[in-house]
Amino acid sequence: MKNSENERKQDERELIYLLLHNKECLKKFKQMNVKIEHFTEENRPVVLSILESYDRNGVLLTRKSFKEKLKCHKVPKEKIAQGFAFDSCYSCSAEVDDFPMLAQKIIDCNVSTEAIRALETYAKSSKEDGSIFAIRGLINRCEKILSITDNSGYGNLYQEFLGYRQFPLDIFPEEIKIVLNSYRKKWNCSIDYVANPFLQSVSLTLNCKYKISANGKTADGRIWRFAIGGSGQGKSEPAKDILCMFDELDRQAKLDYDDELSRYEKKKIIYDAKLSKFKKSSDLKFADCPDKDPEPIQRQYTFEFATIESIHEVISQNPDGIMLQIEEFFPWFESLGNYSNGSAAATMAQLQKYYDSDFDIPVKHGRKNKTAQIYTPKHYAVFYAQAQPDILPITILQARLIHTGFVNRFLYFYPDKSVYKTPSVDSYIVPDKHKQLLNNIITDLYKIETGNDYAEYQTVYLNPDSASADTWMAYIDYYNWLDRIEHNDNDELPTVVSIFIGRHKKHLSKLILNLHILNSYLTKSDTKTIQKKTVEDAVLLSKYYISHFLKLYEMFLKKGRKNTPIKSLGNHDRVLNSITEGKSSVRDIQAKTKIPSDKIRPILKQLEKDGVGTCQISEQGRNKGQVSGFVKS
């Protein structure tokens, strides 16, 4: 058995040697049905790096580039193991003519392994459950084994989606691309951090006006996006710059409110006088009672760090919809959980009601062990959240939280690291005409009146009767492909991934609606007919978001901390932020972050090792000899 295992590893090394040295072999390999999972665990990182290097840059993986990639690993054991695996493959030797045989050996070896496991399971099941039940199970497992050689289209998700990591900027017309590149040039950041906030603003302007009925299922334009990026990568400021177009709407809403309030107060003086006179009248008649004008309400379009109650209040005042922009999602999310009921899953369940409910849905909130229900009519809320990558994968991708439905409602994007700069005197200035174009799009889309709080949606249809044959096929082919992924029984596909990708059937409809209304406005065309290019662009966007989710999930697997409690996540960043804000003593940091002092002190020691500053040691009292504070250098 040991010799067989060694022969398998040797075959893998020879095959990988050819993939490292011959581009034609690599091209053939990508067209074959050999999956990453077919390789042994020690060689999988090398194969993934080979495919990534070729798909991104069109070049073969070199020793130097692989060594550079290994520098990202923080665990020395993993770094040494992967370095040894690469060197073993790179120094091996094989002939190009042996490539087909080596690839087939990899497949045959996996078929044999899975067949042995199927027979072992059959033998055990036949004793416990009976022969008939065991045979049926054996048939199903054998069919899965045969599917190894079947090009099903979703067997290797990594390879399938690797090419969609870059934001598909070509979905926009030329004038929009020029404007977005102008903002990107200003901030010198990834185009993802500019294009996604723009699409998010379009999603907000659709609010309660449009719905799409695709394949018999209806959805509105609500889309939640989650921007992932490291500190200083440029995920916050470019988004603020793009979304500042809503500042004008908020400013105008404040001016309108002040005018209405001034008129209301003048009328109230007259009303109070009439009411006083009415009460003093000897002959009181209900018909003579003066009517009081309703108090004016200030509308608000975007806000941050809201509680469940404040979200409810603002939406009630603005039935057209709001955007909740959260720069650091997890401190807000944790404080929201502490404020209401402390349960992460329950908090998610409450927030998700703002995703696709229309009328009078109760949202619970609680304070001091007391609960109450608030009702929000037609609440249209979109979230634009931001977080750092080291925190996100551990938290939201836990299997126990994915089933709440809150996590997979977000569209995640995490572009590769890019240079970012803070604006200065010499910064590139976005031309006024570019700013005006985006402002015109948003304000014009907002001009559509919704009427009262329960106004009817305008429904756009996508079915064989309303769309052309090409448009319908572009949609239904991808929809069915997502459906197969969601309902497949392949054990290699994690449940978290299949659930998230299955959710994209609804996301696809939402993306089509958003792009369709935007394109209809830009081309001044009819909103009733959806074009084929709109569907194809939405498919590209869907694949783009799925690829980034898989990237995050891959990070999650490498972390290996599935059971980390939510309240212990991000402590390092929260302590560092409080120090940046001027909190120096352990007591002040504890009051700011709500983290126990025994957990703060190790973090401060680590920050000292990282060169952030110097720990202060207590010289007296019961904490003598322990860290009492921190001075930032």
Same domain, residue pair 56 and 138: yes
Q: pLDDT tens, 115-146?
A: 888 888 888 878 777 777 678 778 767 766 66
Of 96, 125, 151, at which residue does a domain stop? 151
The more confident residue out of 515 and 264 is 515
Residue 453 lies in a domain: no
Q: With 70 as the cut, is the pLDDT of residue 315 above it?
A: no
Q: With 90 as the cut, is the pLDDT of residue 415 above it?
A: no
For residue 425, the 8-state DSSP code is T
Q: pLDDT tens, 105-118?
A: 888 888 888 888 88
> Global pTM?
0.60
Which residue range(s) make up the domain with 544? 162-219+233-247+420-447+458-559
SS (H, E, C) 113-172: HHHHHHHHHHHHHHHHHCHHHHHHHHHHHHHHHHHHHCCCCCCCHHHHHHHHCCCCHHHC
Q: Quick one: pLDDT band at residue 157, thresholds 50, 70, 90?
A: low
Residue 282 lies in a domain: no
What are the structure tokens assigned to 216, written together?
């018999």
- In this prediction, residue 561 carries a pLDDT of 41
Specify the CATH number for the domain of residue 10: 1.10.860
The more confident residue out of 205 and 370 is 205
Residue 258 lies in a domain: no
Q: Is the sign of the CA dihedral 386, 391, 397, 402 positive or negative?
A: negative
Of 151, 170, 185, at which residue does a domain stop? 151
- In this prediction, residue 545 carries a pLDDT of 92
Place of tokens 């992460």: 344
Same domain, residue pair 47 and 175: no
407/132 Cα distance (integer angstroms): 41
Same domain, residue pair 628 and 537: no
Closest C-alpha to 15, from 105, 82, 109, 114? 105
CB-CB neighbours of 84 under 10 Å? 11
CB-CB neighbours of 455 under 10 Å? 14
Same domain, residue pair 605 and 517: no
- In this prediction, residue 374 carries a pLDDT of 47
Q: Quick one: pLDDT band at residue 204, thresholds 50, 70, 90?
A: confident
The listed range with the strongest mean pLDDT (83-87, 233-237, 500-504) is: 83-87
Average pLDDT of the segment spanning 43-52: 83
Q: With 80 as the cut, is the pLDDT of residue 262 above it?
A: yes
Average pLDDT of the segment spanning 293-316: 69
Q: pLDDT tens, 544-593?
A: 998 888 887 777 665 544 333 333 335 665 777 677 667 778 888 888 77
Residue 276 lies in a domain: no
Same domain, residue pair 430 and 406: no
- In this prediction, residue 194 carries a pLDDT of 92
Q: How far is CA 4 from CA 112, 504, 629, in A?
A: 12, 43, 59
Mean pLDDT computed over every residue of the chain: 75
Q: Which residues contact 556 (CB under 8 A, 6 or more apart)?
A: 393, 394, 397, 562
Q: With 60 as the cut, is the pLDDT of residue 480 above it?
A: yes
* Percent of the chain surpassing pLDDT 90: 7
Q: With 60 as the cut, is the pLDDT of residue 166 above it?
A: yes
Contact at 8 Å (CB) between 604 and 586? yes
The more confident residue out of 514 and 93 is 514
Average pLDDT of the segment spanning 462-475: 84
Q: With 90 as the cut, is the pLDDT of residue 538 above it?
A: yes
Q: pLDDT tens, 427-448?
A: 667 888 888 888 888 878 876 6
406/548 Cα distance (integer angstroms): 18
Q: Is the sign of the CA dihedral 77, 79, 82, 87 positive or negative?
A: negative
- In this prediction, residue 144 carries a pLDDT of 64
The more confident residue out of 585 and 367 is 585
Q: How far is CA 194 from CA 188, 253, 527, in A?
A: 10, 26, 26
Average pLDDT of the segment spanning 247-252: 74
Same domain, residue pair 506 and 544: yes
Specify the CATH number for the domain of residue 599: 1.10.10.10
Average pLDDT of the segment spanning 518-523: 90
Q: Minimum mean pLDDT among 1-15, 39-53, 202-216, 370-384: which range? A: 370-384
Q: Kindly provide the b/e burial profile for residues 367-386, where b requires at least 16 CB atoms within 10 angstroms of the residue's own CB.
A: eeeeeeeeebebbbbbbbbb
Same domain, residue pair 173 and 204: yes
* Residue 143, Ramachandran bin (φ over 0: left; ψ between -120 and 50: alpha; else beta): alpha
586/584 Cα distance (integer angstroms): 7
Same domain, residue pair 91 and 200: no
Q: Quick one: pLDDT band at residue 208, thresholds 50, 70, 90?
A: low
Residue 465 lies in a domain: yes
Same domain, residue pair 403 and 490: no
Q: Minimum mean pLDDT among 124-133, 172-181, 239-248, 419-428: which range? A: 419-428
Q: With 60 as the cut, is the pLDDT of residue 216 above it?
A: yes
Residue 270 lies in a domain: no
Same domain, residue pair 6 and 143: yes
Residue 464 lies in a domain: yes
25/18 Cα distance (integer angstroms): 7
Q: With 80 as the cut, is the pLDDT of residue 223 above it?
A: yes
Domain count, the chain: 4
Place of tokens 């416990």: 128
Average pLDDT of the segment spanning 332-359: 58
553/203 Cα distance (integer angstroms): 26
At residue 381, φ and ψ (nearest 5 deg) are -125, 135
Same domain, residue pair 188 and 93: no
Residue 613 lies in a domain: yes
The more confident residue out of 11 and 498 is 11
Q: How far is CA 123 from CA 110, 113, 117, 587, in A?
A: 20, 16, 10, 63
589/605 Cα distance (integer angstroms): 14
Same domain, residue pair 135 and 9: yes
Burial class (CB in 10 A: 0-12, 13-18, 19+), 481: middle
Contact at 8 Å (CB) between 242 and 201? yes
Average pLDDT of the segment spanning 241-262: 80
